[in-house]
């Protein structure tokens, strides 16, 4: 594996000495035909023995739908199966640097405005779940700065269950895994994908989250000259 990475680097790492040390797995799916983007982020905080779970669906018929929980007990044994009131989520590395499967059963919030996720926290509760697969296309890109980690790109597909609807998703997948004392949710941009479907992305669709230490993270889905992308940034 390039960059000095080994298969075990897909999994949890021993924490550093600093209480600011954290580890993040972030996965994205962009289905340009349906005009839907989906992001899942798991942030491990060993000093607190806690995990944050941040997930959003952008472009669903009802608008942005979020599942945010910062106070999940860190799972034992180094796995990423998360359980808390009203949420079950699992993230399994089936084959290192090749295949991940991700599941969710929870209640999410349909928000009137993306900023409601970090202000009022109010929305309409709906059942949400998914059974999704990420398949890398080979190779990784190292990330720089204070952290170790990498980006991987490929395809993502599977089933999204939202309220009473079931939606089959198929599109571009991207994964970020970082560990260290840098930003918990660093900004990055997925590979563009051209729409060949019936519901192309129009305008910009956004989701917002609090990373747990005061930084506001924004994801957006938009169509550009090269195709549809999902990007993110930290607003400090």
**Cβ atoms within 10 Å of 84's Cβ, excluding its own:** 15
pLDDT more than 70, % of the chain: 93
How far apart are alpha carbons 91 and 81 in whole angstroms? 6
Contact 195, 32 (CB under 8 A): yes
- For the record, the structure tokens of 133 come out as 């697969």
Q: Is the pLDDT of residue 203 over 80?
A: no
Among 2, 114, 138, 127, which Cα is nearest to 59's?
114
Instruction: Look over the chain and give the mean of its residue pLDDT values, rounded to a whole number.
Output: 90
Q: Is the pTM of this model over 0.75?
A: yes
Whole-angstrom distance, CA of residue 229 vs CA of residue 51: 28
**Residue 185 neighbours by CB distance under 10 Å:** 27
Distances (CA, A) of 219 to 58, 138, 142, 227: 9, 25, 21, 17
DSSP class of residue 190? P
**pLDDT tens digits for 71-82?**
999 998 889 999
- Please answer whether residues 156 and 172 qualify as being in contact, where contact means their C-beta atoms are separated by less than 8 angstroms: yes
Q: Give the DSSP per-residue string, 98-167.
A: TEEEEEEEEEEEE-SSGGGGTTT---EEEEEEEEEEEEE-S--EE--TT-EEEEEEEEEEEEEEETTEEE
Compute the distance between CA of residue 200 and CA of residue 15 in angstroms, rounded to an integer: 42
Question: How do residues 77-123 score in pLDDT, each as one tens digit?
Answer: 889 999 999 999 999 999 999 999 999 999 999 999 999 999 999 99
- Whether 87 contacts 68, CB under 8 Å: no
| Domain ranges, ordered by start, for the chain | 2-234
Check if the beta carbon of residue 176 is closer than 8 Å to that of residue 188.
Answer: yes
For residue 206, give the 3-state DSSP assignment: strand
- Rounded Cα distance between 40 and 53, Å, is 8
pLDDT tens-digit readout, 123-143: 999 999 999 999 999 889 988
């Amino acid at each position: 594996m390039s960059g000095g990475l080994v298969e075990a680097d897909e999994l949890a790492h021993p924490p550093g000495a600093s209480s600011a040390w954290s580890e993040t797995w972030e996965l994205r799916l962009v289905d340009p035909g349906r005009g839907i983007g989906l992001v899942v982020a798991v942030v491990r905080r060993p000093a607190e023995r806690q995990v944050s779970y941040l997930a959003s669906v952008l472009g669903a018929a009802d608008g942005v739908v979020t599942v945010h929980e910062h106070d999940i007990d860190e799972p034992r044994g180094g796995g990423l199966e998360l359980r808390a009131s009203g949420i079950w989520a699992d993230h399994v590395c089936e084959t290192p640097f090749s295949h991940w499967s991700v599941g969710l059963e929870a209640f999410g919030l349909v928000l009137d405005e993306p900023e409601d996720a970090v202000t009022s926290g109010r929305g309409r509760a709906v059942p949400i779940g998914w059974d999704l697969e990420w398949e890398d296309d080979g190779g990784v890109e190292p990330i720089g700065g204070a952290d170790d980690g990498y980006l991987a790109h490929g395809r993502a597909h599977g089933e999204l269950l939202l309220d009473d609807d079931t939606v089959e998703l198929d599109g571009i997948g991207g994964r970020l895994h970082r560990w260290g004392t840098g930003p918990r949710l660093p900004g990055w941009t997925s590979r563009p994908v051209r729409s060949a479907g019936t519901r192309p992305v129009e305008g910009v669709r956004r989701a917002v989250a609090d990373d747990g230490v005061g930084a506001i993270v924004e994801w957006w889905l938009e169509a550009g000259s090269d195709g549809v992308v999902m990007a993110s940034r930290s607003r400090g």
